[in-house]
Structure 1
Amino acid sequence: MSTHETTEEAASAAGTGVRLTAGGAELTVRPELGCRISSLRVDGTELLRQGDRYGSFPMVPWCGRTADGVFRDGDALRRLPLNSPPHAIHGTGRDQRWRTVRADETAAVFTYDLGDPWPYTGRVTQLVELAEDGLTLKMGVETYGNSFPAQAGWHPWFLRRPQGRPAGGAGAADGEGGDGDGVRISFDPAWQEERGADHLPTGRRIDPLPGPWDDCFGMPDGVDVRLTWPGWLELRVTSRAEWVVVYDEQDEAVCVEPQSGPPNGLNSAPRLVTPIDPLEVATTWRWRRL
């Protein structure tokens, strides 16, 4: 291991994280805190909600809610911890200490080994790569033994009104979510997953409804969601994944969550990870100054 890598390991163990920089962009990853991005600054302005539960964390080995913490793998019934009763939510990766494999000024790679309370063994790898005008995240889930269903994605908390940015803008435009000089959300999904009273998809696909949202949308040509802070910055979240959850019910921040399958997908749309077919997913956040 290089001296730089040793330094990064010590920094993350101390809780200061792994820091990347590229031009006016600065990013901090906390591998000991579920490998979440705890900070993303553009020209000195923080984009992400602060706090150990926030930033942007990987959702793995499942995304969103799994109904009653139960899913089937063939004839086997598997049970997960009910960390959001009555459901299991957002995977176990955000609760694990990840290992820094390598890091340099603009990119870093992290891993953790799957195991209890997830009922299978395997490995998750996340690449974080920062550029002056964007961020690329890649995640892979692999198994060295039995095949199993899995999902992967990301759960960023973008500040609705970042401190220190220029004020400006009136209300949101038609077809967009937002309020006043807060962030505007714009996207064109093919459908919305109807959400039941239990916050799980009912299985029906409906025409997209106006927000506020805590909903999953289908984008079969790939996720493409634009966040605009009027007079300051536009940020596009894109992914070849076909599913995105948008959550904007809080005043502090909004979430745009590209993921490999819908909520409760371990049951409704299982994607098997096999020794010759790992699960791979990626997303890019590209920004431009206005």
Structure 2
Amino acid sequence: MSNEEITLRAGDAEATVRPGNGGRIGSLRVDGVELLRQGDRYGCFPMAPWVGRIRDGRFRDGATVHQMPLNSAPHAIHGPARDGAWVTARATADEAVLTYDLGDPWPYPAKLTQVVALAPDALTLTLAVETYGSSFPAQLGWHPWFNRTLDGGTGVEIAFDAAWQEERGADHLPTGNRIDPRPGPWDDCFGMPDGVDVTLTWPERLELKVTSREQWVVVYDEQEAAVCVEPQTGPPNGLNTLPRLVTPVEPLEATTTWSWRRL
């Protein structure tokens, strides 16, 4: 099938999926109000087969060191999936299934599958990576850009209870130390052993909960226009520090749900 834009609808919710632009969610509207920052680099894109930054763009698999392009010099950031053209495997009124073949510069032939499922009060995203041959380390996650304000209203409030914060070095990468969570502003990774659970509240408008079975989330709120809540399978630079192994019999899969209620 093609990689043309897809519109999903459920109740008063509408989502636009853009396979040709990194498999991203380009728009999410509730009661006609846009929740995601607009623009070709925004919305919500999948991060794969790594999340955040890889230090110096290098990761080790056994004795082999691989070099990724330094698209956020001096590091490599967010993986190539957000820059590629995905293909629509199937689409219905409220669900789309997209696929993407990983290749050069990623050294392992592999397939990504993303399922986007819209309900009247929730959006559920599922992402999986499976190998076409060799086992390899990988990470998965999502990078949504939520509008800081809805139609000029009061700015969003972010609430969560993390067990720890990954201490961030001057190079924006975790040092390996876990510290007590600190107040924002943030561009930081937090640990939630019982699963990601972050609440965004636009006062008198909407409450949206970002949840996932995964244990790591990056919260970024240093920008005026938008805030990011990024559930992921490991911390930044995790291909080197905490890799998840994809094997021919065991793919890596992650899911996140955004559920909302009107205030």
Instruction: Provide the TM-score with structure 2 as the length reference.
Output: 0.99
Aligned-partner Cα distance in 1 for 2:141–2:125: 10
Partner in structure 1 of residue 253 of structure 2? 280
Aligned match for 1:224, one of 197, 205, 227 = 197
Partner in structure 2 of residue 106 of structure 1? 94
Unaligned runs of 5+ in 1: 1-5, 168-180
**RMSD (Å) for aligned C-alpha atoms:** 0.8
Deviations 1:233-284 (A, max 9, x none): 0000000000000000001000000000100000000111000110000000
**Does 1:72 find its partner at 2:45?**
no
Q: What amino acid is aligned across from residue 39 of structure 1 in structure 2?
A: S
Partner in structure 2 of residue 185 of structure 1? 158
Aligned-partner Cα distance in 1 for 2:220–2:240: 22
Partner in structure 2 of residue 116 of structure 1? 104
Aligned-partner Cα distance in 1 for 2:228–2:235: 15
Unaligned runs of 5+ in 2: none
Instruction: Report SS of the residue matched to 1:138.
Output: strand
Aligned match for 2:22, one of 6, 26, 34 = 34
**Does 1:249 find its partner at 2:222?**
yes
Q: What amino acid is aligned across from residue 249 of structure 1 in structure 2?
A: E
Equivalence map 1:18-97=2 (5 Å): 18-97=6-85
Aligned match for 2:235, one of 246, 262, 285 = 262
Aligned-partner Cα distance in 1 for 2:62–2:72: 25
Instruction: Provide the TM-score with structure 1 as the length reference.
Output: 0.90
Q: What amino acid is aligned across from residue 133 of structure 2 in structure 1?
A: G
Partner in structure 2 of residue 125 of structure 1? 113
Instruction: Report SS of the residue matched to 2:20.
Output: helix
Partner in structure 2 of residue 172 of structure 1? none
Instruction: Report SS of the residue matched to 2:145.
Output: strand
Q: Which has the higher strand share?
A: 2
For the pair shown, which has the larger CA radius of gyration, 1 or 2?
Answer: 1
- Shift of residue 144, structure 1, vs aligned partner: 2.1
Instruction: Report SS of the residue matched to 1:94.
Output: helix
Q: What amino acid is aligned across from residue 201 of structure 1 in structure 2?
A: P
Partner in structure 2 of residue 148 of structure 1? 136
Percent of aligned positions that are identical = 70
Aligned match for 2:148, one of 154, 160, 177 = 160
Q: What amino acid is aligned across from residue 250 of structure 2 in structure 1?
A: D
Aligned match for 1:136, one of 102, 118, 124 = 124
Aligned-partner Cα distance in 2 for 1:254–1:31: 23
Aligned-partner Cα distance in 1 for 2:100–2:59: 23
- Shift of residue 160, structure 1, vs aligned partner: 0.3
Aligned-partner Cα distance in 2 for 1:86–1:119: 20
Deviations 1:181-237 (A, max 9, x none): 200000000000000000000000000000000000000000000000000100000
Aligned-partner Cα distance in 2 for 1:69–1:42: 38
Number of equivalent positions: 263
* Runs of 4+ deviating beyond 6 Å: none
- Shift of residue 163, structure 1, vs aligned partner: 1.6
Deviations 1:19-61 (A, max 9, x none): 0000100000100000000000000000000000000000000
Greater CA drift, 21-30 or 155-164? 155-164
